Structure 1
């Protein structure tokens, strides 16, 4: 039997000391010291009694109910592994077990010694020694081979022994005194301190449970042994140390087969319920394979007790059974507080960490996913600020696209008081409180959060809201347009941050100064500069002052109330149907000037130009170039706005199309320079090298016929080129132009058309005097003659060469050969060379004159010797 206790000497002696202290009702103290080969173990408590001696000598007898030694008398046999002479000194008397003396007694009686040796612990001998001062009982082991090793073992086991043996409060060793103290712990738990180690101790009906503390925080164990009450060999994987009253085999190493271990877990859940919320899940066994049958049975019993007990901490503070708990992993305290009255049994944030969640699920708690949380939030009526806090809490746990998909049905409060389903259906307006918006799903500003954008909400500007087709549709239906909608639109318009007109809002009804209600695009602002340039009988109304004061001029300009000229923009026009003055004329001019009669591909035009007072065009032009939108309409010379201005706008009574920039010398003397400081910015509306209507052509011809104007030959030629080009290209129908009463000749003089001809060949330049010739481009001479109602030179004049010449082969004449080398297009192989070339012209112009060259109808080139 001693073999089973060979390494349990210290444990068994400590158990005896604890029993003695418990019997006497005192705090147990144990002392273990050595002196060479002598080991001394002292304790306080009930001293040695007769029954105790009987129990010791009977081996398997126990006086648990009346003695001072352990549960089994056999436990004391462990000392035989160390000594053959065991003294038990006590204040009530002392005995000694001595192998040598027993062996001598057997020999004296003629009895043989047993094969296993003398029965040392069967014969107690009286002893006169007393225990050392301060101790009620002292066990002295003599002849211990390595007493120091026993003391060292005692030092290693001291903490466990003080933890396991409740009646023992201190163990004194040669170099240290190890004591146990207690202090209040959480709930019914007690904090136990042994040296530097600390535990929370919980007392259940059939066991004591110890949760280790490291750095003041609970630190569950992963592997230990069953303590009954001292350490056995039954390995456990429970998170707490357990000291339980469990029947063991005599050597105290294994549980007796068939022992009922389920009672050990009784009250375990109640103890866990009294731990701090953050530490309760630490008491749940970690899922895994049990280390033994005993471990398996204890784990099952503990889990059964946990599942049947309301111990899981919840966000509302009331604990519930695991089956009634719902855990959202790593939920924040704020989120848990928000969901406390939304999700029944929601586990408190302190217990929802990753390890805590796993523990709770292992005992039956329900895991919450994001989709379940979103479902729980559906149908709630909460203020926007509450929802923003929800989104802030969710932002910490929404990480990937799968999380985003689970939040697809998340409720979102809107500015109009509704709460709708799905962030992907709503709009965010960053940093602006626009009030209720009736035509769009705009998130309430107090609920706006970056998470919504991550979940699919679209971020828009106030201007984007005004461009919403839904708003345009509402404005088209009188049933939807009321004071609230008007107020909402103007509030959004005030937040646009500019004065650019938003398209499609011109129908918004607004109060005018005369008490009527008119569309926004039929009104102008009271201080509008447009009012100063329009005719007095213009059709616009003036918006009411009260509306201006409430919403501001900028907001009203955004919805289309006039301030300056408005524009019409159409990226795909299909016809002249934009209600612009003389739009059909412009449309026809574009198609007529196109080689393939193509219609305009885009339209950007200034409207209401026909309402400008004739005397206010200088200021009106300044307004046009000041505003980027209207200035843009002036960039394309072929566009509607420059086209209209050239024909209808006037400065000092002159159409813009007959005015030129001062630095443009194309029509110097023929057209007057424009007098306006911003003229370069509307150059497209001034005279150019294109004429595309009869009125402009007539005006240019009239200017050319004015003898008061000083026009250079070059300007005269340019003007005729421009006019002839327009007539030749069909941009101008000559039938719409009355022939002029006078024409400008090549010399710059003004004469009757009957006295001139249009030069239609270069040869006529040498024959016809400049004051009898009109010239443009030779290619368009016929069109110019038709426009001026003047004959071409070739059609009415004849020329004869009257001088005599000689035929010369060009290649044989050095100067002519050189001339042909320089201008091969002009000099043929053979020429008629005259000393003095004289020709006679007959017809409208009759003249005989010397000329440098002439080409006869048969193609012969005649040259005057003077040219070579």
Structure 2
């Protein structure tokens, strides 16, 4: 006799209690198992698990299911349509281990072939996260679970809620109309928690409808989410009327899905999880969602059953990957690259295996549209790496395997490369079109497309350097550089150019002329462009050699001079072979017959074949305008060269130079300097702030037989003795200064070593009378020179005004040393701070280093030769009074005062010993110097001495 539902529930409960009594470990196992499910695998899956149960029920019933969520009296109630709860389902609920549906069952019309559905398996444990008293009410009965009632049956600190089933209360309300089963969950935290959970359900509703195809409607407190299948698309409608669409592709045991817009454009997913078909904890990073029941999963359905690379898992993932290209092909061709996985590190082991398998299928299956016809697998596809759809159409029959537009551009290449496709860059494109025959109009269309990508900065212009150009003679020339452009209707110019017979001169077909060719180095066939055409420049460059080889270059020379007449200066014209009395020479090696330059050059510099310059043929000079000849580099006066070379001419802020100055005759330098000053270009160089020309002239020009820097200006009398005034050479003083004649005491910045050696030689000349002040200033100037390149002098000028051998001299570096060193051995600068650097330049020792510091200060006080007495400066009334008059702060420390001060037997007014202590004789002179040094007012020492003699304010003011 079949048991009633209540009897079945009671029997199950008794069986469980008997198993606990018979095996105490079984109770512990059940408690731990439920605890693990509640806090681990199913801790946050209440709605998903209940929705899965509803989908399973719908699948068992063979009809699309509906699900309803309500909050009633603090209870969360989730009702669904479909197969009602039966005894097997009740047993499954109480088992914690099994589903109530036989494994392998599949309902007809299941959206995911191979899906195994179950009813109320271990996933129901998810409800324990929110309640401890769940009830399931169905049309065929129901069952309740209760933590409280279980504790009444079994005394323990923690009990498994879902192991002991109970019959429903007699007053349990029936299932709502239109539904077959309802799960009722009294919320632990009350009505507020139930409402918060309802909000969470609303956030999950749309995703649940996508992953559970047997559910077509979810009703949350009257707000409806609906699913509608439109072929391969799933359309979801939210309560506000908004619609979202998912494109799906079925495979063996799986379904792929990706959200799409109303226009069919996919919206690739970022990070997602594997769905089996409910969400798992296996993270995925593919653009589409995978729903599968073929992957072996742990009972919790959160993790794969074994490792991601186990045979069963790989087999299931491979089957899913084989279906992926079908999803891609279902998209419009222009959107297919959006579903290629983006390259990055896998987010899980499963993700790594699945990504590799998907990428492998995309590499081997046909899915990329060909620019000609059909589909291409990734391995045979070539994607143009610039965004130029029309360019793809032009190249469709040129590049094998080219992917159709609009799948082009760098983003498309990066995406397609993941599937083993190859990008084709502009360099390969240029190589591909090399040698092909196409009408000139086709080339012009090609140029138009390429110029557009250049202007968009997708391609560097240099990459198109070898782009072929169709020529007027029917040939194709590799590269536009040097090609001449002749607009249609101006073909006569091309014919005239061809008649010149200049090798390498190429003229583009008029129908192919395009702005891109100009950007690539092609030039208009006008005079200026002709002069810059590489073939013409080369012809000019070899014109002298051609003449020597016996070739006639007259036509070339006449044409070039004609073009210069119209266009002016151009690069390379200096090499043009112009006639002289004895033959032809480069234009930039020729001088006009009436040039003023001929008056200042050395006779050997002009004339024969070995001379650097020659004179232009007089007839040629008469026939052509002077400016034309000068533009070709023929000299009329001194010329100016810019940093770009002789043909560039001077430019503002350029680094300029004047050639041929080394050819000036020695006696002609005054005339040459006047010539330099008479021309604006050379005057600009002569007066330039960098002083390059002035410095060169100061060392190499000759005035009265000596370089300008060896002389001084007549007005520079402060240099008298060191430098002699320049003789009268017919130049004004401002020009003399510009060419380096000295106006002040200074060492030249451009050649400091040689200038320093000159200054040392003048100082060491015993025949010269140099004032003491000038010697001091000269030595200070020398101290600023880097010493490494200076050759030290053999003799030096001393403080006594005499000249002595360097071996006997020292450099004075402290004032107290004056008392113990003879003046005719001391070399001094205007400032003691300059002494160390001066010693380095002259290679002399410092006086302080040479003074015998072992000698003690010998001080005799009256007859008993006392050691002197220390007095602080602040304790010397006379010092304090002088400091006040001068506004000098009284320094710290003091001085040892002696009646008589001697050092090594020599009387001195003051001294600083090796320990830094100051000593002074008891005299105004000694005290003044010691105080001035201590107060860092050395320049006031004489005034201090005077005030110590007479501390009268009038001495300061008058």
Does residue 122 in structure 1 map to residue 164 in structure 2? Answer: yes
Q: 1:388 to 1:277 in 2, by over 3 A?
A: same
For residues 101-250 of structure 1, the aligned pairs below 5 Å read: 101-104=149-152, 106=153, 112-117=154-159, 119-126=161-168, 129-145=173-189, 146-174=193-221, 176-184=223-231, 195-213=242-260, 216=263, 217-245=265-293, 246-250=295-299
Does residue 417 in structure 1 map to residue 435 in structure 2? Answer: no
Does residue 263 in structure 1 map to residue 319 in structure 2? Answer: yes
Counterpart in the other structure of 1:392: 448
Larger Rg belongs to: 1
Does residue 299 in structure 1 map to residue 355 in structure 2? Answer: yes
Cα offset, 1:377, TM superposition: 0.3
Alpha-carbon contact 1:572-1:601 (below 8 Å) kept: no
Alpha-carbon contact 1:210-1:242 (below 8 Å) kept: yes
Match of 2:364 among 308, 311, 330: 308
What's the CA shift string for 1:49-108, capped at 9, x where partnerless? 22222222233222334799846611112223333333222222233334444555x3xx
Which secondary structure state, in structure 1, belongs to the residue aligned with residue 358 of structure 2? helix
In structure 2, how many angstroms separate the alpha carbons of the residues matched to 1:167 and 1:436?
A: 81
Q: 1:73 to 1:435 in 2, by over 3 A?
A: farther
Counterpart in the other structure of 2:300: 251
Does residue 406 in structure 1 map to residue 454 in structure 2? Answer: no
Which secondary structure state, in structure 1, belongs to the residue aligned with residue 386 of structure 2? coil
What's the CA shift string for 1:367-400, capped at 9, x where partnerless? 2222210111012111111101111111133478
In structure 2, how many angstroms separate the alpha carbons of the residues matched to 1:81 and 1:280?
A: 42
Q: 1:18 to 1:197 in 2, by over 3 A?
A: same
Alpha-carbon contact 1:326-1:345 (below 8 Å) kept: yes
Does residue 460 in structure 1 map to residue 529 in structure 2? Answer: no
Q: 1:170 to 1:211 in 2, by over 3 A?
A: same
In structure 1, how many angstroms separate the alpha carbons of the residues matched to 2:163 and 2:106?
A: 17
Does residue 39 in structure 1 map to residue 95 in structure 2? Answer: no
Alpha-carbon contact 2:70-2:221 (below 8 Å) kept: yes
Q: 1:76 to 1:67 in 2, by over 3 A?
A: farther
Cα offset, 1:405, TM superposition: 3.7
Which secondary structure state, in structure 2, belongs to the residue aligned with residue 199 of structure 1? strand
Counterpart in the other structure of 2:924: none
Q: 1:49 to 1:375 in 2, by over 3 A?
A: same
In structure 2, how many angstroms separate the alpha carbons of the residues matched to 1:22 and 1:450?
A: 68
Alpha-carbon contact 2:523-2:529 (below 8 Å) kept: no
Alpha-carbon contact 2:328-2:339 (below 8 Å) kept: yes
Alpha-carbon contact 2:53-2:120 (below 8 Å) kept: no
Q: 1:162 to 1:364 in 2, by over 3 A?
A: same
In structure 1, how many angstroms separate the alpha carbons of the residues matched to 2:616 and 2:286?
A: 90
Alpha-carbon contact 2:258-2:266 (below 8 Å) kept: yes
What's the CA shift string for 1:581-640, capped at 9, x where partnerless? xxxxxxxxx9xxxx9x9973447779xxxxxxxxxxxxxxxxxxxxxxxxxxxxxxxxxx
Counterpart in the other structure of 2:853: none
Counterpart in the other structure of 2:508: 443
What's the CA shift string for 1:252-280, capped at 9, x where partnerless? 22111133333321221232133222211
For residues 547-696 of structure 1, the aligned pairs below 5 Å read: 600-602=618-620
In structure 2, how many angstroms separate the alpha carbons of the residues matched to 1:393 and 1:67?
A: 57
Alpha-carbon contact 2:248-2:258 (below 8 Å) kept: yes
Q: 1:598 to 1:435 in 2, by over 3 A?
A: closer
Does residue 284 in structure 1 map to residue 340 in structure 2? Answer: yes
For residues 18-29 of structure 1, the aligned pairs below 5 Å read: 18-29=55-66
In structure 1, how many angstroms separate the alpha carbons of the residues matched to 2:208 and 2:492?
A: 73
In structure 2, how many angstroms separate the alpha carbons of the residues matched to 1:39 and 1:390?
A: 69
Counterpart in the other structure of 2:52: 15
Q: CA RMSD in A?
A: 3.9
Alpha-carbon contact 2:234-2:245 (below 8 Å) kept: no
Unaligned 5+ segments in structure 1 are: 107-111, 474-500, 506-569, 576-589, 607-868
In structure 1, how many angstroms separate the alpha carbons of the residues matched to 2:381 and 2:494?
A: 41
What's the CA shift string for 1:28-54, capped at 9, x where partnerless? 111111123211111011112222222
Match of 1:54 among 87, 91, 107: 91
Which secondary structure state, in structure 2, belongs to the residue aligned with residue 320 of structure 1? strand
Which secondary structure state, in structure 2, belongs to the residue aligned with residue 117 of structure 1? coil
Q: 1:251 to 1:436 in 2, by over 3 A?
A: farther
Cα offset, 1:301, TM superposition: 1.1
In structure 2, how many angstroms separate the alpha carbons of the residues matched to 1:403 and 1:364?
A: 26
Alpha-carbon contact 1:426-1:442 (below 8 Å) kept: yes
In structure 2, how many angstroms separate the alpha carbons of the residues matched to 1:275 and 1:154?
A: 31
Which secondary structure state, in structure 2, belongs to the residue aligned with residue 281 of structure 1? helix
Cα offset, 1:571, TM superposition: 11
In structure 1, how many angstroms separate the alpha carbons of the residues matched to 2:47 and 2:64?
A: 19
| Farther off after superposition, 443-452 or 404-413 | 404-413
In structure 2, how many angstroms separate the alpha carbons of the residues matched to 1:401 and 1:30?
A: 54
Alpha-carbon contact 1:94-1:130 (below 8 Å) kept: no
In structure 2, how many angstroms separate the alpha carbons of the residues matched to 1:253 and 1:599?
A: 100
Which secondary structure state, in structure 2, belongs to the residue aligned with residue 363 of structure 1? coil
Alpha-carbon contact 1:45-1:136 (below 8 Å) kept: yes
Which secondary structure state, in structure 2, belongs to the residue aligned with residue 358 of structure 1? helix
Alpha-carbon contact 2:248-2:327 (below 8 Å) kept: no
Q: 1:463 to 1:148 in 2, by over 3 A?
A: closer
Q: 1:118 to 1:430 in 2, by over 3 A?
A: closer
Cα offset, 1:157, TM superposition: 1.1
In structure 1, how many angstroms separate the alpha carbons of the residues matched to 2:532 and 2:72?
A: 101
Cα offset, 1:219, TM superposition: 2.6
Cα offset, 1:139, TM superposition: 1.5
TM-score computed with the length of structure 2 as normaliser: 0.47
In structure 2, how many angstroms separate the alpha carbons of the residues matched to 1:279 and 1:598?
A: 73
Q: 1:72 to 1:359 in 2, by over 3 A?
A: farther
Which secondary structure state, in structure 1, belongs to the residue aligned with residue 411 of structure 2? helix
Q: 1:8 to 1:268 in 2, by over 3 A?
A: same
Which secondary structure state, in structure 1, belongs to the residue aligned with residue 140 of structure 2? coil
In structure 1, how many angstroms separate the alpha carbons of the residues matched to 2:68 and 2:378?
A: 47
Cα offset, 1:302, TM superposition: 0.9
Match of 2:142 among 84, 94, 101: 94
In structure 2, how many angstroms separate the alpha carbons of the residues matched to 1:421 and 1:288?
A: 41
In structure 2, how many angstroms separate the alpha carbons of the residues matched to 1:356 and 1:100?
A: 63
What's the CA shift string for 1:764-821, capped at 9, x where partnerless? xxxxxxxxxxxxxxxxxxxxxxxxxxxxxxxxxxxxxxxxxxxxxxxxxxxxxxxxxx
Alpha-carbon contact 2:272-2:283 (below 8 Å) kept: yes
Alpha-carbon contact 1:204-1:271 (below 8 Å) kept: no
Which secondary structure state, in structure 1, belongs to the residue aligned with residue 255 of structure 2? strand
Match of 1:352 among 408, 424, 441: 408
In structure 1, how many angstroms separate the alpha carbons of the residues matched to 2:458 and 2:474?
A: 29
Cα offset, 1:225, TM superposition: 1.3
Q: 1:342 to 1:435 in 2, by over 3 A?
A: farther
Q: 1:394 to 1:290 in 2, by over 3 A?
A: same
Which secondary structure state, in structure 2, belongs to the residue aligned with residue 21 of structure 1? helix
Which secondary structure state, in structure 1, belongs to the residue aligned with residue 431 of structure 2? helix
Cα offset, 1:362, TM superposition: 2.3
Cα offset, 1:426, TM superposition: 1.7
Structure 1 or 2: more helix by fraction: 2
Alpha-carbon contact 2:251-2:319 (below 8 Å) kept: no
Counterpart in the other structure of 2:718: none
